[in-house]
A and B are shown apart, each in its own frame.
Chain A
Amino acid sequence: MNWIAANIIPLQATVTTFLLALSFQFPMRLGLFSLAGVGLFGVGAYSSGIAFAKFHWDTWSSVAFGVVVAALVGLLLGLVVARLGGLYLAMATIAFDMIVVVLAGNLTPLTGGYMGLFGIAGKVELWHLGIIAVIVAVLFALSERGGMSRRIEAVHDDAALASSQGINVSAYRLTAFLVSGAVAGLGGALMLMVRNTTTPDAYGFGLIVVALTVAIVGGTKSWIGALIGTIIFTWLPVFLTVVGEWREVVYGVIVVLAALFFPTGIWGSILGVRKRLAERKHAGQRDVVDEMATEPDAAETEFLQTVAGKDSEQ
């Protein structure tokens, strides 16, 4: 119990960063290099803060407001950038994020200007955050199985081909922006409720760099990658204070090593290792079956089908 109380801040940050990381990971799963999650994180925070402080709504209504506004802004953004892809989309979404910062800083009567918002004393406990994280993880996990998952992968691998196969690519893209907005808005609103204050420069280029690193190093194939990245980069600075004045250098070295040795992210590498182990086992099984020349039993059949099914998805 003492450990949790002593580390409450990083634990809170783990949940809110996880949500932010998902807002990056989900569009990337579709092949959309959108960095808008940071700006939407800010939109969620500020909307919920304004609802709380100016409309005097209660905590959870304010959070819901933040989610809805951020989701809608995300959708709108998705419509506007519909034709962009690759690095151009990345640049456009970075520009969006920076515009959000300047608006938050200059629309002082609404947002408190560069002083920011104060005293947003929301009643959010750590266990609230825990439950929310689990629910969101389950929802994302569900999106990673079944037909929807295969269609998402098709869009990622080759959007033009997917479209010719009858998949409504633009609907998937817009959904990605909507979901990205919703989950980022949730993260931002919760972060504000828990920290009680925020300023515009919290959502600037620095956070973009952090979120990008978390999502990519963790692995963009799955929500699990986002979680891995979050845990590493939330707790790393805490552990790196041991390294003292070389903190930033060590951080940089770790990131470079990740880019070199985990090109599909840490989760991607774990999946890759699993695949190789399974293939080896599969090859072994086949030899045995040929030698024995008997009917495969139910367990073998199920195993072979499982491996075969997995192969077609990787």
Chain B
Amino acid sequence: MAIHLRSGAAAASIVLAGALALVGCTGTTSPTPDPTGTTEPDAGGLPAVIELLGVRDQTGAVAYTGISAAKGTALAVKQAAEEAFLGEGVTVEVDERDGAFDPTVASTAITEGLASGNISAILGPQISNEALAVAPIAEAAQVPIVFTQSGVDGLLTGQFGYRASSSQSSVWPRAIEKIVADGAKTVVTFVSANNATYNQLGTVVIPPLLADGGVEIAQTFDFESSVTDFAAAAGQAAAASPDAIVVTLIGPQMPTLITQLRQSGYEGPVYVTAAMTDDQMKSMGDAGHDVFFPTNFSYAISSGLPAEFTKAFQAEFGENPDTYAAETYDQTWWVLRAIKQANSADPIAINDALLALGLQGFEGVQGKLTFIDGRDAVSPGVLVEWDPVAAVQKIAG
């Protein structure tokens, strides 16, 4: 009994001491930004080293998205250095940290990153949960943060948040155009039940677009993310003989669904989201014919800025770039241009420049980008088709 009391008291006093320490402090809940630009001359020169902070998932459930993202940023920074974009003797360093698919880890990475250096801007997470967790931190620190992906509503309500990738909704009209142009009258849709973005896409965004084109949705199936087998629904969909099938499920579910649609006898076009990786599409083999997806970038685009980016990316990394890398390439160039326009590494000046550039819009590898309120990217989108024979993407004819 006495020992219990003693150990209990000991532990309680440790906790109490800790709590008192917290109370004794002023209890600020936000990190104060380190002073930047203290060594800059007023003539608006750039310091020798400009620091950016990147927080993307290098590990966790969708590690491939963050790994690609880091590559897109790295290429942009390298090119800027090679052409001395920000002037001679000015280098940009990116502190890449892992969000680990965990909002707590992402938040810590941001606060530690901010505390450890003079961060001029943040290249933010791609996962909505992480983005929502870190947005207030950047806002309080008054450092601009540019997200990609993270398609959740209500993310960009502050003064310092931006999104450099266009949403799925903005590119889906490309797919609907083709569906209508091909003379479709009925479609069947497969929608994610518990992924909020894809559910909204499938139930709120796409149906009115189809209705406008005079296309009727014969049936809708919804699936939780844990469903792995789709044979029954595929069979019923095939039996309905629709003119097209629209799929807004999460990436790993789509190869199985499409394969089972073909196995059920449906040979028509399937329109999916851009969430499938090339590997997932390859895994479908011959079943991967007549699969289309609207997206903001494809390595199959043969001319213009996208093609140049693809060539440079292949030279640097020996592989084709995906949308995640393309988005962060645009994201990083937006920040670089803002730094140049502001002619300063001060986060607030850069923030103003980001907004100004956003209001103007610019040409990126995602096409001609405009920005809602100067913050949220909209791209015209392109319709891509998968070529199962060559096992590569191609632009839909």
Contacts and interface: CB of A to CB of B under 8 A. Distances in A.
Direct contact of A and B (CB under 8 A): yes
Given A114-B194, A238-B108, A274-B3, A5 B154 contact: no
A126 B22 contact: yes
Interface in A97-131: 105, 113-116, 118-119, 125-127, 130-131
Contacts of B5: 145
Interface stretch (B6-14, B81-89, B211-219, B240-248): B6-14
A127 B4 contact: no
Interface stretch (B25-33, B162-170, B359-367): B25-33
Contact of A126 (B29, B103, B196): B29
Contact of B15 (A2, A134, A195, A248): A134
B19 interface: yes
A5 B132 CA distance: 19
A227 B11 contact: yes
Contact of B27 (A119, A125, A222): A125
Interface stretch (B109-117, B275-283, B332-340): B109-117
A269 interface: no
Which of B108, B133, B136 has the largest number of chain A CB atoms within 10 A? B108
Contacts of B315: none
B43 interface: no
B2 A237 contact: no
Contact of A309 (B2, B18, B23, B63): B2
Which bucket holds chain A's interface residue count?
Answer: 35 or more
Which bucket holds chain B's interface residue count?
Answer: 35 or more
A241 B111 contact: no
Contact of A224 (B11, B27, B196): B11
A244 B12 contact: no
Contact of B108 (A7, A199, A200, A245): A7
Contacts of B15: 133-134, 137, 227
Contact of B28 (A5, A144, A227, A238): A5
A106 B115 CA distance: 40
Interface stretch (B94-102, B177-185, B377-385): B94-102
Which of B3, B23, B109, B111 has the largest number of chain A CB atoms within 10 A? B3
B194 A145 contact: no
Interface string A226-252: 010000001001100100110110000
B22 A224 contact: no
A291 interface: no
B22 A130 contact: yes
A131 B59 CA distance: 35
Interface string B189-204: 0000111100110000
Given A8-B111, A114-B199, A200-B194, A119 B133 contact: no
A165 to B, nearest CB: 20
A290 interface: no
B4 A237 contact: no
Contacts of A119: 154
B59 to A, nearest CB: 5
B129 interface: yes
30 contacts: A2-B115, A5-B31, A6-B111, A10-B108, A105-B194, A114-B193, A114-B199, A115-B196, A125-B27, A127-B23, A127-B25, A130-B18, A130-B23, A131-B23, A134-B15, A138-B12, A141-B8, A141-B11, A144-B4, A196-B132, A199-B129, A202-B129, A224-B7, A224-B11, A238-B104, A241-B100, A306-B3, A309-B2, A310-B2, A313-B1
Given A144-B8, A199-B129, A306-B1, 16 more contacts: A1-B26, A5-B32, A6-B31, A9-B133, A105-B193, A114-B195, A130-B22, A131-B23, A134-B12, A144-B4, A149-B4, A237-B104, A241-B109, A244-B58, A245-B63, A309-B1
